[in-house]
Amino acid sequence: MPEEGIQLRDKREFMSEEELLAIVKVFVGFGIKKIRLTGGEPLIKKNFGSILKQLAELPVSLTMTTNGVLLDRYIDELKDAGLQKINISIDSLHADRFNEITRRKDFERVIRNIDLTHKAGIDIKLNAVLMRDVNESEVVDFIELTKKERTHVRFIEFMPFDGNQWDWSKKVSEKEILEKVIAHFGAANVLEVDPPPNSTSRNFRIKDYASTFGIISTLTNPFCDTCNRIRLTADGKIKNCLFSNDEDDLLKALREGKDIRAMIRNSIAKKHEKRAGIKSFQSNEDAEIFKANRSMTTIGG
Protein backbone atom coordinates (compact mmCIF):
# COMPACT_ATOMS: atom_id res chain seq x y z
CA MET A 1 0.00 0.00 0.00
CA PRO A 2 1.23 3.54 -0.67
CA GLU A 3 2.66 5.20 2.42
CA GLU A 4 0.13 8.00 2.10
CA GLY A 5 -2.77 5.53 1.80
CA ILE A 6 -5.35 5.48 -0.98
CA GLN A 7 -8.42 7.53 -1.79
CA LEU A 8 -11.44 5.73 -0.35
CA ARG A 9 -14.46 5.31 -2.62
CA ASP A 10 -18.18 5.00 -1.99
CA LYS A 11 -19.17 1.37 -1.54
CA ARG A 12 -21.84 1.80 -4.24
CA GLU A 13 -19.01 1.94 -6.79
CA PHE A 14 -18.19 -1.68 -6.01
CA MET A 15 -20.02 -4.91 -6.74
CA SER A 16 -22.47 -6.06 -4.13
CA GLU A 17 -22.45 -9.72 -3.19
CA GLU A 18 -25.44 -10.36 -5.45
CA GLU A 19 -23.89 -8.48 -8.38
CA LEU A 20 -20.57 -10.29 -8.01
CA LEU A 21 -22.28 -13.68 -8.10
CA ALA A 22 -24.47 -12.69 -11.06
CA ILE A 23 -21.45 -11.63 -13.14
CA VAL A 24 -19.38 -14.64 -12.09
CA LYS A 25 -22.17 -16.99 -13.19
CA VAL A 26 -22.04 -15.46 -16.67
CA PHE A 27 -18.31 -16.23 -16.84
CA VAL A 28 -18.93 -19.78 -15.62
CA GLY A 29 -21.55 -20.10 -18.37
CA PHE A 30 -18.80 -19.31 -20.87
CA GLY A 31 -16.77 -22.25 -19.55
CA ILE A 32 -14.58 -20.70 -16.85
CA LYS A 33 -13.38 -23.58 -14.69
CA LYS A 34 -11.23 -21.82 -12.10
CA ILE A 35 -11.87 -18.78 -9.93
CA ARG A 36 -9.24 -17.01 -7.85
CA LEU A 37 -10.19 -14.48 -5.20
CA THR A 38 -7.45 -11.89 -5.03
CA GLY A 39 -6.92 -8.22 -4.35
CA GLY A 40 -6.08 -6.00 -2.70
CA GLU A 41 -6.80 -8.37 0.16
CA PRO A 42 -9.93 -10.53 -0.15
CA LEU A 43 -10.16 -11.50 3.52
CA ILE A 44 -10.93 -7.94 4.66
CA LYS A 45 -14.32 -8.05 2.89
CA LYS A 46 -16.98 -8.23 5.61
CA ASN A 47 -19.13 -10.76 3.73
CA PHE A 48 -16.18 -12.86 2.53
CA GLY A 49 -17.53 -16.02 4.16
CA SER A 50 -20.89 -15.75 2.41
CA ILE A 51 -19.30 -15.05 -0.98
CA LEU A 52 -16.91 -17.97 -0.51
CA LYS A 53 -19.73 -20.37 0.34
CA GLN A 54 -21.77 -19.41 -2.72
CA LEU A 55 -18.81 -19.54 -5.10
CA ALA A 56 -17.99 -23.00 -3.76
CA GLU A 57 -21.38 -24.20 -5.01
CA LEU A 58 -20.43 -23.39 -8.62
CA PRO A 59 -18.80 -26.04 -10.88
CA VAL A 60 -15.34 -24.47 -10.59
CA SER A 61 -12.01 -24.94 -8.85
CA LEU A 62 -11.75 -22.23 -6.21
CA THR A 63 -8.53 -20.69 -4.92
CA MET A 64 -7.28 -17.43 -3.41
CA THR A 65 -4.34 -15.07 -3.08
CA THR A 66 -3.93 -13.40 0.32
CA ASN A 67 -1.39 -11.56 2.43
CA GLY A 68 -1.98 -14.21 5.09
CA VAL A 69 -2.75 -11.86 7.97
CA LEU A 70 -6.36 -12.99 8.52
CA LEU A 71 -6.09 -16.63 7.48
CA ASP A 72 -6.58 -17.87 11.04
CA ARG A 73 -10.08 -16.34 11.08
CA TYR A 74 -11.21 -18.20 7.96
CA ILE A 75 -9.20 -21.43 7.81
CA ASP A 76 -12.20 -23.64 8.67
CA GLU A 77 -14.44 -21.91 6.11
CA LEU A 78 -11.74 -22.25 3.45
CA LYS A 79 -11.47 -25.98 4.17
CA ASP A 80 -15.25 -26.37 4.07
CA ALA A 81 -15.34 -24.58 0.70
CA GLY A 82 -12.93 -27.18 -0.65
CA LEU A 83 -9.96 -24.92 -1.31
CA GLN A 84 -6.95 -27.10 -2.03
CA LYS A 85 -4.49 -24.33 -2.87
CA ILE A 86 -3.82 -20.86 -1.48
CA ASN A 87 -1.27 -18.30 -2.65
CA ILE A 88 0.27 -16.23 0.14
CA SER A 89 2.15 -13.05 -0.75
CA ILE A 90 5.28 -12.64 1.37
CA ASP A 91 8.25 -10.64 0.12
CA SER A 92 10.70 -11.36 2.94
CA LEU A 93 11.44 -14.05 5.52
CA HIS A 94 13.11 -11.53 7.83
CA ALA A 95 10.78 -9.77 10.27
CA ASP A 96 12.35 -6.30 10.06
CA ARG A 97 12.43 -6.31 6.27
CA PHE A 98 8.91 -7.74 6.01
CA ASN A 99 7.57 -5.06 8.36
CA GLU A 100 9.35 -2.33 6.41
CA ILE A 101 7.97 -3.54 3.06
CA THR A 102 4.41 -4.00 4.32
CA ARG A 103 4.40 -1.05 6.75
CA ARG A 104 2.80 -3.24 9.40
CA LYS A 105 4.07 -5.57 12.11
CA ASP A 106 2.31 -8.81 11.18
CA PHE A 107 5.29 -10.98 10.33
CA GLU A 108 4.88 -13.47 13.19
CA ARG A 109 1.16 -13.81 12.55
CA VAL A 110 1.69 -14.45 8.85
CA ILE A 111 4.32 -17.12 9.60
CA ARG A 112 1.94 -18.80 12.07
CA ASN A 113 -0.84 -18.71 9.50
CA ILE A 114 1.38 -20.28 6.85
CA ASP A 115 2.00 -23.14 9.28
CA LEU A 116 -1.72 -23.30 10.13
CA THR A 117 -2.64 -23.54 6.44
CA HIS A 118 -0.05 -26.25 5.90
CA LYS A 119 -1.44 -28.27 8.82
CA ALA A 120 -4.94 -27.89 7.36
CA GLY A 121 -3.76 -29.91 4.37
CA ILE A 122 -3.95 -27.02 1.92
CA ASP A 123 -1.19 -26.57 -0.67
CA ILE A 124 0.65 -23.28 -0.21
CA LYS A 125 2.31 -21.20 -2.88
CA LEU A 126 4.42 -18.38 -1.47
CA ASN A 127 4.65 -15.41 -3.83
CA ALA A 128 7.69 -13.17 -3.45
CA VAL A 129 8.18 -10.08 -5.60
CA LEU A 130 11.94 -9.68 -5.97
CA MET A 131 13.37 -6.15 -5.89
CA ARG A 132 17.00 -5.26 -6.33
CA ASP A 133 18.74 -4.07 -3.17
CA VAL A 134 15.67 -5.04 -1.14
CA ASN A 135 15.15 -8.81 -0.97
CA GLU A 136 16.96 -10.52 -3.87
CA SER A 137 19.45 -11.90 -1.36
CA GLU A 138 16.69 -14.16 0.03
CA VAL A 139 16.27 -16.37 -3.04
CA VAL A 140 18.01 -19.37 -1.47
CA ASP A 141 16.20 -18.87 1.86
CA PHE A 142 12.85 -19.08 0.09
CA ILE A 143 13.88 -22.16 -1.88
CA GLU A 144 14.89 -23.93 1.33
CA LEU A 145 11.20 -23.85 2.31
CA THR A 146 10.44 -26.18 -0.61
CA LYS A 147 12.04 -29.04 1.32
CA LYS A 148 8.58 -29.41 2.88
CA GLU A 149 5.62 -30.98 1.11
CA ARG A 150 2.89 -28.68 -0.21
CA THR A 151 5.05 -25.56 0.16
CA HIS A 152 5.86 -24.09 -3.24
CA VAL A 153 7.57 -20.77 -3.99
CA ARG A 154 7.12 -18.37 -6.90
CA PHE A 155 9.48 -15.47 -7.56
CA ILE A 156 7.78 -12.61 -9.40
CA GLU A 157 9.51 -9.87 -11.34
CA PHE A 158 8.74 -6.40 -10.03
CA MET A 159 6.03 -5.07 -12.37
CA PRO A 160 5.28 -1.43 -13.22
CA PHE A 161 2.03 -0.01 -11.88
CA ASP A 162 0.90 3.47 -11.04
CA GLY A 163 2.43 4.66 -7.79
CA ASN A 164 4.86 1.81 -7.04
CA GLN A 165 8.06 3.71 -7.97
CA TRP A 166 8.99 1.06 -10.51
CA ASP A 167 11.98 1.47 -12.76
CA TRP A 168 13.89 -1.02 -14.86
CA SER A 169 16.91 -1.08 -12.52
CA LYS A 170 14.83 -2.57 -9.68
CA LYS A 171 13.85 -5.76 -11.49
CA VAL A 172 15.63 -9.07 -10.89
CA SER A 173 15.51 -11.20 -14.04
CA GLU A 174 14.92 -14.92 -14.46
CA LYS A 175 18.52 -15.27 -15.61
CA GLU A 176 19.86 -13.66 -12.42
CA ILE A 177 17.64 -15.79 -10.19
CA LEU A 178 18.77 -19.02 -11.83
CA GLU A 179 22.41 -17.96 -11.58
CA LYS A 180 21.99 -17.51 -7.82
CA VAL A 181 20.24 -20.86 -7.47
CA ILE A 182 22.80 -22.79 -9.54
CA ALA A 183 25.71 -21.14 -7.73
CA HIS A 184 24.32 -22.35 -4.40
CA PHE A 185 22.84 -25.78 -5.21
CA GLY A 186 24.87 -26.79 -8.28
CA ALA A 187 23.53 -27.13 -11.82
CA ALA A 188 23.00 -30.90 -11.53
CA ASN A 189 20.64 -30.39 -8.58
CA VAL A 190 18.39 -27.81 -10.24
CA LEU A 191 15.77 -29.78 -12.17
CA GLU A 192 13.25 -28.13 -14.48
CA VAL A 193 9.68 -29.35 -14.07
CA ASP A 194 7.12 -29.58 -16.87
CA PRO A 195 4.59 -26.80 -16.26
CA PRO A 196 0.83 -27.39 -16.05
CA PRO A 197 -1.25 -26.03 -18.96
CA ASN A 198 -1.36 -22.23 -19.13
CA SER A 199 1.22 -21.85 -16.37
CA THR A 200 2.50 -18.33 -15.75
CA SER A 201 5.80 -19.59 -14.35
CA ARG A 202 8.84 -21.56 -15.37
CA ASN A 203 9.11 -24.22 -12.66
CA PHE A 204 11.99 -26.07 -11.02
CA ARG A 205 12.71 -28.46 -8.18
CA ILE A 206 15.88 -28.93 -6.16
CA LYS A 207 16.89 -32.58 -6.24
CA ASP A 208 15.34 -34.51 -3.31
CA TYR A 209 13.22 -31.50 -2.24
CA ALA A 210 9.48 -32.16 -1.86
CA SER A 211 8.08 -29.07 -3.59
CA THR A 212 8.89 -26.69 -6.43
CA PHE A 213 9.97 -23.13 -7.03
CA GLY A 214 9.07 -21.08 -10.06
CA ILE A 215 9.86 -17.80 -11.76
CA ILE A 216 7.19 -15.50 -13.17
CA SER A 217 9.18 -13.33 -15.56
CA THR A 218 6.47 -11.03 -16.87
CA LEU A 219 8.96 -8.46 -18.15
CA THR A 220 12.06 -10.31 -19.31
CA ASN A 221 10.44 -13.54 -20.51
CA PRO A 222 6.65 -13.03 -20.74
CA PHE A 223 4.20 -15.93 -20.73
CA CYS A 224 1.59 -14.11 -22.80
CA ASP A 225 1.38 -16.83 -25.47
CA THR A 226 -0.14 -19.28 -22.95
CA CYS A 227 -2.05 -16.84 -20.74
CA ASN A 228 -5.77 -17.60 -20.36
CA ARG A 229 -6.48 -15.27 -17.44
CA ILE A 230 -9.21 -12.65 -17.28
CA ARG A 231 -9.86 -10.36 -14.30
CA LEU A 232 -13.08 -9.01 -12.90
CA THR A 233 -12.13 -6.06 -10.70
CA ALA A 234 -13.77 -5.24 -7.39
CA ASP A 235 -15.64 -2.37 -9.06
CA GLY A 236 -17.00 -4.62 -11.80
CA LYS A 237 -14.62 -3.87 -14.67
CA ILE A 238 -13.17 -6.54 -16.92
CA LYS A 239 -9.41 -6.35 -17.48
CA ASN A 240 -8.06 -8.64 -20.18
CA CYS A 241 -4.47 -8.04 -19.02
CA LEU A 242 -3.00 -6.66 -15.80
CA PHE A 243 -0.95 -4.21 -17.85
CA SER A 244 -3.98 -2.89 -19.72
CA ASN A 245 -5.63 0.43 -18.91
CA ASP A 246 -8.54 -0.51 -21.21
CA GLU A 247 -11.40 -1.67 -18.99
CA ASP A 248 -15.04 -2.45 -19.82
CA ASP A 249 -17.63 -1.63 -17.18
CA LEU A 250 -19.68 -4.80 -16.69
CA LEU A 251 -21.19 -3.56 -13.43
CA LYS A 252 -22.69 -0.43 -15.02
CA ALA A 253 -24.15 -2.53 -17.84
CA LEU A 254 -25.56 -5.09 -15.38
CA ARG A 255 -27.23 -2.34 -13.34
CA GLU A 256 -28.77 -0.98 -16.53
CA GLY A 257 -30.25 -4.39 -17.27
CA LYS A 258 -28.04 -5.04 -20.30
CA ASP A 259 -26.75 -8.41 -21.45
CA ILE A 260 -23.05 -8.38 -20.53
CA ARG A 261 -22.09 -11.45 -22.55
CA ALA A 262 -21.24 -9.46 -25.68
CA MET A 263 -19.04 -7.11 -23.63
CA ILE A 264 -17.11 -10.06 -22.22
CA ARG A 265 -16.60 -11.57 -25.69
CA ASN A 266 -15.45 -8.22 -27.06
CA SER A 267 -12.98 -7.63 -24.22
CA ILE A 268 -11.37 -11.03 -24.66
CA ALA A 269 -11.27 -10.65 -28.45
CA LYS A 270 -9.33 -7.38 -28.24
CA LYS A 271 -6.70 -8.76 -25.86
CA HIS A 272 -3.24 -7.89 -27.21
CA GLU A 273 -0.74 -10.56 -28.13
CA LYS A 274 1.65 -9.39 -25.43
CA ARG A 275 1.45 -7.20 -22.31
CA ALA A 276 -1.43 -4.96 -23.39
CA GLY A 277 0.50 -3.88 -26.49
CA ILE A 278 3.56 -2.71 -24.54
CA LYS A 279 6.66 -3.60 -26.57
CA SER A 280 9.32 -2.00 -24.40
CA PHE A 281 9.20 -0.64 -20.86
CA GLN A 282 12.05 1.66 -21.78
CA SER A 283 10.09 3.35 -24.56
CA ASN A 284 8.49 6.68 -23.68
CA GLU A 285 5.47 5.88 -25.84
CA ASP A 286 4.87 2.49 -24.21
CA ALA A 287 5.59 3.89 -20.76
CA GLU A 288 2.45 5.99 -21.05
CA ILE A 289 0.38 2.80 -21.28
CA PHE A 290 1.44 1.40 -17.92
CA LYS A 291 1.60 4.82 -16.28
CA ALA A 292 -2.10 5.22 -17.11
CA ASN A 293 -2.88 1.82 -15.59
CA ARG A 294 -4.28 1.90 -12.09
CA SER A 295 -2.38 0.75 -9.02
CA MET A 296 -2.56 -2.93 -8.04
CA THR A 297 -3.95 -1.80 -4.68
CA THR A 298 -7.06 -0.47 -6.44
CA ILE A 299 -7.74 -3.38 -8.78
CA GLY A 300 -9.03 -6.15 -6.54
CA GLY A 301 -10.82 -9.00 -8.25
Q: Give the tens place of pLDDT for each residue, 241-270.
A: 877 778 899 999 999 999 999 999 999 998
62 within some domain? yes
- So what's the pLDDT on residue 189? 98
The whole-chain average pLDDT of the chain stands at 88
CATH number of 129's domain = 3.20.20.70
Q: What is the pTM of this model?
A: 0.89
Total number of domains constituting the chain = 1
5 within some domain? no
- Check if the beta carbon of residue 135 is closer than 8 Å to that of residue 92: yes
Lowest mean pLDDT among 37-46, 106-115, 281-290: 281-290
Mean pLDDT computed over 62-78: 96
Lowest mean pLDDT among 43-57, 198-212, 286-300: 286-300
3-state secondary structure of 220: coil
Give the structural domain span for 144. 11-298
64 within some domain? yes
Which pLDDT band, with edges at 50, 70 and 90, does 281 fall under?
A: low
- So what's the pLDDT on residue 292? 59
Q: How far apart are CA 171 and CA 158, in angstroms?
A: 5
Mean pLDDT computed over 6-24: 90
User: What is the percent of the chain where pLDDT is above 70?
Assistant: 85
**Residue 206: which H helix or E strand, with range?**
strand 202-206
DSSP string, 105-135: --HHHHHHHHHHHHHTT-EEEEEEEE-TTTT
Is the pLDDT at 237 greater than 90, yes or no?
yes
**pLDDT tens by residue, 100-109:** 999 889 999 9
Which residues, in sequence order, are bridge partners of residue 246? none
219 within some domain? yes
**pLDDT tens by residue, 118-177:** 999 999 999 999 999 999 999 999 999 999 999 999 999 876 554 545 566 778 889 999
6 within some domain? no
Q: How far apart are CA 230 and CA 28, in angstroms?
A: 12
Is the pLDDT at 111 greater than 60, yes or no?
yes
- So what's the pLDDT on residue 164? 47
Is the pLDDT at 8 greater than 50, yes or no?
yes
Which pLDDT band, with edges at 50, 70 and 90, does 280 fall under?
A: low
Which pLDDT band, with edges at 50, 70 and 90, does 7 fall under?
A: confident
4 within some domain? no
270 within some domain? yes
Q: Exposure pattern of 222-255 as b/e (b: 16+ CB <10 Å)?
A: bbeeebeebbbbbbbbbbbbbbbebbbbbbebbe
Which pLDDT band, with edges at 50, 70 and 90, does 291 fall under?
A: low
